[in-house]
């Protein structure tokens, strides 16, 4: 049998809404390689994003492949069908080799009672005191607690199994990387819940290589983490221990690792994740989502002229349509509207003033997280500009690419993974 397609230890999920920055993103991975760290680039774009922009999944593959050729990249790279479900997966199958199977919507929906009873019967090791290497306080699970947890997640995992087998039937088992994601839900999954979820995944015979739980705290789009850092650290470390345990106990793929759907720019979590990776030797997949689009905004601002004018125009429009633009993202943004300057004020800004307002350097006197979040959810406005926007990107390629690469390398890869040991 051929060796199954295996995801490397460190991988980065990158969004590229308008399919123009793949080379600049790949350049950041090249810089990491020059520092001795192999980072596998994974280009991801969700069905929702394709719908908003009017693009096809094949375009993500095309842009990635062109970047790989242009930069002479010989290491692995992947294209992620991001947050797919059974009803949306089909148009991603041919051009993706990584599938983020999103089953959050099925959490807490009832599974067949007989399946549930059989699972609990099959797993006496999950009842009582569960000792896991690396977890200081053993988990205490009563039988009814195990019934509650498995009841909450069984249907979701069964759904994941249906999607997994659907993809496997089309592409062949071992020809794709599977991630199970449960992050787009309100309540975080605790480490004991993760353990039960992994047992369910193993029983469902899903060869998951990454698992994306919902972590504690708020993961707002494009801005830093809001939550209890000590609690996050405890849970993250226990999750790593749970995964290592589940791999050996349930025969899940040896490279199974955590996937952090960061919503981009969770800078205050990076030292915690870095410490954990250093201590355990574990790998990680970090999805940075769509802030590349904001680097385009920053680059066009710095370019001045028509680029800056377009950014200022989009800001004015976004400000006037703030409710409508924010509605689909209400649960993942926190905008203080009193801190949004008027369109007239912003129209008078220089390119560097505009860029500084958007560029995510916490503590920078001109940084404005409210403007940043508003523009982050306003990418549809650029999509509506169509050729005008893409033409500006083309004409200002160098300055935009510089911002894209620097952002990914200096603010993400470096603090997380460079000089880890």
Question: Under rule CB under 5 A, which residues in 337-356 are in contact with Zn ion?
Answer: none
* CB 261 to Zn ion: min, Å: 3
Q: How far apart are CA 301 and CA 282, in angstroms?
A: 39
In this complex, which beta carbon is closest to Zn ion, that of residue 80 or of residue 295? 80
Round the CA-based radius of gyration of the chain to a whole number and report it: 22
Q: Within a 10 A sphere around the Cβ of 216, how many other Cβ atoms?
A: 19
In this complex, which beta carbon is closest to Zn ion, that of residue 261 or of residue 285? 261
Which of the stretches 151-159, 175-183, 272-280, 342-350 binds Zn ion when contact is defined by CB under 5 A? 175-183
In what helix (H) or strand (E) does residue 234 lie, and over which residues does it extend? helix 229-250
351 within 8 A of 306, measured Cβ to Cβ: no
Which 8-state DSSP code applies to residue 184? Answer: S
* CB 296 to Zn ion: min, Å: 22
In this complex, which beta carbon is closest to Zn ion, that of residue 288 or of residue 312? 288
Q: Using CA of residue 1, residue 37, residue 286, residue 150, what is the dihedral sign?
A: positive
* CB 287 to Zn ion: min, Å: 7
Give which of 133, 107, 281 is closest to 188, Cα–Cα: 107
In this complex, which beta carbon is closest to Zn ion, that of residue 139 or of residue 293? 293
Q: Among 16, 183, 193, 235, which residue interacts with Zn ion (rule: CB under 5 A)? A: 183
280 within 8 A of 240, measured Cβ to Cβ: yes
Give which of 218, 227, 354 is closest to 299, Cα–Cα: 354
In this complex, which beta carbon is closest to Zn ion, that of residue 159 or of residue 183? 183
In this complex, which beta carbon is closest to Zn ion, that of residue 158 or of residue 264? 264
In this complex, which beta carbon is closest to Zn ion, that of residue 179 or of residue 295? 179
Which of the stretches 106-114, 178-186, 197-205, 226-234 binds Zn ion when contact is defined by CB under 5 A? 178-186
* CB 396 to Zn ion: min, Å: 30
The count of residues interacting with Zn ion (CB under 5 A) is 2
The three-point CA angle 244-409-63 to 5° equals 90
In this complex, which beta carbon is closest to Zn ion, that of residue 207 or of residue 261? 261
Which of the stretches 36-44, 145-153, 180-188, 248-256 binds Zn ion when contact is defined by CB under 5 A? 180-188
* CB 100 to Zn ion: min, Å: 7
Which of the stretches 13-21, 36-44, 182-190, 354-362 binds Zn ion when contact is defined by CB under 5 A? 182-190
Query: 407: exposed, middle or buried (C-beta count within 10 Å: 0-12, 13-18, 19+)?
Result: buried
* CB 221 to Zn ion: min, Å: 11
In this complex, which beta carbon is closest to Zn ion, that of residue 150 or of residue 210? 210
* CB 33 to Zn ion: min, Å: 27
Please list the helix, strand and coil fractions of the chain in percent, rounded to the nearest 5, in that order.
55, 10, 35
* CB 181 to Zn ion: min, Å: 5
290: which residues sit within 8 A by CB, 6+ positions away?
Answer: 15, 17, 49, 221, 222, 264, 376, 379
Q: Provide the H-helix boundaries in 18-97.
A: 22-34, 47-53, 57-71
Q: Interface with Zn ion includes 80 (CB under 5 A)?
A: no
Which of the stretches 221-229, 242-250, 258-266, 311-319 binds Zn ion when contact is defined by CB under 5 A? 258-266
Give which of 358, 359, 370 is closest to 334, Cα–Cα: 370
* CB 383 to Zn ion: min, Å: 21
Give which of 65, 401, 82 is closest to 263, Cα–Cα: 82
Select the residue whose beta carbon is closest to Zn ion and give its number.
261
Give which of 47, 173, 172, 63 is closest to 393, Cα–Cα: 63
* CB 83 to Zn ion: min, Å: 6
Please give the structure tokens belonging to residue 282. Answer: 């574990």
Q: Among 9, 261, 360, 412, which residue interacts with Zn ion (rule: CB under 5 A)? A: 261
105: which residues sit within 8 A by CB, 6+ positions away?
Answer: 85
Which of the stretches 66-74, 155-163, 176-184, 355-363 binds Zn ion when contact is defined by CB under 5 A? 176-184
In this complex, which beta carbon is closest to Zn ion, that of residue 261 or of residue 412? 261
- Residues engaged in binding Zn ion (CB under 5 A): 183, 261
């Amino acid at each position: 049998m051929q060796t199954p397609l295996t995801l490397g230890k460190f991988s980065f999920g990158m969004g590229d809404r308008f399919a123009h920055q793949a080379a600049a993103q790949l350049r950041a991975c090249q810089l990491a390689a020059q520092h001795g760290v192999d980072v596998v680039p994974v280009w991801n774009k969700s069905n929702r994003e394709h719908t908003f922009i009017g693009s096809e999944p094949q375009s993500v593959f095309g842009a990635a492949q062109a970047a790989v050729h242009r930069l002479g990249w010989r290491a692995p790279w992947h294209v992620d069908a991001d947050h797919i479900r059974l009803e949306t997966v089909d148009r991603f199958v041919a051009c993706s080799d990584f599938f983020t199977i999103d089953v959050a919507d099925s959490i807490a929906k009832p599974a067949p009672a007989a399946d549930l009873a059989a699972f609990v019967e099959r797993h006496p090791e999950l009842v009582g005191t569960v000792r896991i290497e690396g977890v200081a306080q053993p988990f205490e699970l009563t039988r009814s607690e195990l019934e509650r947890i498995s009841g909450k997640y069984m249907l979701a995992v069964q759904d994941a199994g249906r999607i997994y087998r659907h993809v496997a039937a089309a592409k062949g088992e071992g020809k794709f990387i599977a991630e199970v994601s449960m992050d787009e839900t309100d309540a975080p999954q605790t480490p004991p819940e993760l353990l039960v979820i992994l047992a369910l995944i193993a029983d469902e015979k899903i060869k998951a290589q990454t698992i994306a739980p919902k972590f504690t705290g708020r993961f707002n789009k494009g801005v830093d983490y809001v939550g209890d850092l000590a609690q996050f650290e405890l849970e993250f470390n226990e999750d790593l221990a749970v995964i290592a345990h589940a791999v050996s106990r349930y025969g899940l793929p040896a490279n199974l690792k955590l996937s952090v759907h960061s919503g981009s720019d969770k800078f205050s979590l990076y030292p915690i994740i870095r410490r954990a990776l250093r201590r355990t030797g574990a790998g990680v997949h970090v999805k940075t989502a769509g802030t590349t689009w904001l680097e385009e905004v920053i680059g066009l601002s710095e370019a001045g002229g028509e680029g800056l004018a377009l950014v200022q125009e989009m800001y004015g429009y976004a400000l006037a349509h703030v409710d409508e633009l924010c509605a689909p993202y209400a649960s993942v943004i926190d905008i203080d509207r009193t801190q949004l300057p008027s369109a007239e004020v912003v129209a008078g800004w220089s390119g560097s003033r505009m860029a500084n307002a958007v560029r995510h350097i916490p503590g920078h006197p001109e940084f404005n997280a409210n403007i940043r979040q508003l523009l982050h959810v306003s990418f549809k406005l650029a999509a509506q500009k169509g050729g005008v926007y893409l033409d500006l990107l083309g004409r200002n390629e160098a300055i935009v690419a510089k911002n894209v690469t620097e952002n990914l390398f200096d603010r993400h890869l470096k603090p997380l993974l460079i000089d880890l040991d």
